Structure 1
Amino acid sequence: MASLFTRIIRGELPGRFVWKDDRCVAFLTIAPLAPGHTLVVPRDEIDHWIDLPQDLATHLTEVAQAVGKGIQQAFQPVKVGMMIAGLEVPHVHLHLVPIRTLQDMNFANQDRNPNPADLDAAAERLRSTLRSLGYKQVSD
């Protein structure tokens, strides 16, 4: 059975994509820790990050860095945190979180009922910033 993320990638479930290339995608999470919280997800369904082929792990990190630069510019946090957790969905994903305090990295603080208009606005803000930074992989 396909993972939740595979279903989003395939278009079976909605996703607010900000990046698409032949190896991975990035989209806003539906339960953000902060506005702009984005997941970088490989197209290949791999459960544990330690099982990633090295070239794919490198690619995911490079994409995370590019999207992180967009988050930094678009949302102006103190830093952009990156975390690999992986218990909630059995499909590798890198969390990119705009952080102002350590509390911003606490999953107990997730907004489990965010305003869809706020998520749409955050996605468009990030896409616009990534385009202005010259990235061609920005999702439409």
Structure 2
Amino acid sequence: MASIFSKIVAGEIPAHIVAETTEFLAFLDVSPLTTGHVLVIPKKEIDYIFDMDEESYFGLTLFAKIVATGLKKAVPCIKVGVAVIGLEVPHVHIHLIPMNTVSDMNFSKPKLSPTQEELAETAAQIKAQL
């Protein structure tokens, strides 16, 4: 069964995409920890990040760095935090989270509930910086 992220890649589920290549996709988390919380994924469905071949792993990491650079310019923050957890969706994904405090990376805290309009505006701001 295809993961929710594979359905986003296939266009079956809409997403606020901020960057895309033939191999990778970056889009806003719809239940973010902070404004600008981005998920970076390979388009190929792989469950565990360390099961990726080296070329894809390094490509995903470089793509995430590029997205994080634009994200930091678009969303005021001290740093962009990086997390790879991988338990909630069986598809490799890197969380890029704008941070001003360590607690901004606390996945047990309540998530934000931005509107579709707010997500679209944030996505446009990030895209403009890439």
**TM-score between both structures, scaled by the size of structure 2:** 0.96
Superimposed CA distance per residue, residues 57-80 of structure 1 (whole angstroms, 9 cap, x where no aligned partner)? 100110110000001111121100
Q: Cα 1:110–1:31, aligned 2, differ >3 Å: closer, same or farther?
A: farther
| Stretches of structure 2 lacking an aligned partner (at least 5 in a row) | none
**TM-score between both structures, scaled by the size of structure 1:** 0.89
Check if 1:79 corresponds to 2:91.
Answer: no
In 1: Cα distance, 2:37 partner to 2:51 partner: 24
2:62 maps to amino acid = E
In 1: Cα distance, 2:29 partner to 2:75 partner: 16
Give 1:110 shift.
4.4
In 1: Cα distance, 2:17 partner to 2:52 partner: 22
Give 1:108 shift.
2.1
2:43 maps to amino acid = R
Q: In 1, are the aligned partners of 2:33 and 2:112 still within 8 Å (CA)?
A: no
| Stretches of structure 1 lacking an aligned partner (at least 5 in a row) | 131-140
Give 1:127 shift.
0.6
In 2: Cα distance, 1:79 partner to 1:54 partner: 27
In 2: Cα distance, 1:20 partner to 1:75 partner: 19
SS in 2 for 1:80: strand
In 1: Cα distance, 2:112 partner to 2:66 partner: 27
Count of matched residue positions in the alignment of Structure 1 and Structure 2:
130
Give 1:112 shift.
5.1
Match of 1:123 in 2: 123
Give 1:50 shift.
1.0
Match of 1:18 in 2: 18
Computed over aligned residues only, the root mean square deviation of the Cα atoms, in angstroms, reads: 1.0
Match of 2:100 in 1: 100
1:54 maps to amino acid = E
Q: In 2, are the aligned partners of 1:32 and 1:110 still within 8 Å (CA)?
A: no
Superimposed CA distance per residue, residues 11-41 of structure 1 (whole angstroms, 9 cap, x where no aligned partner)? 0001111111111100001111111110110
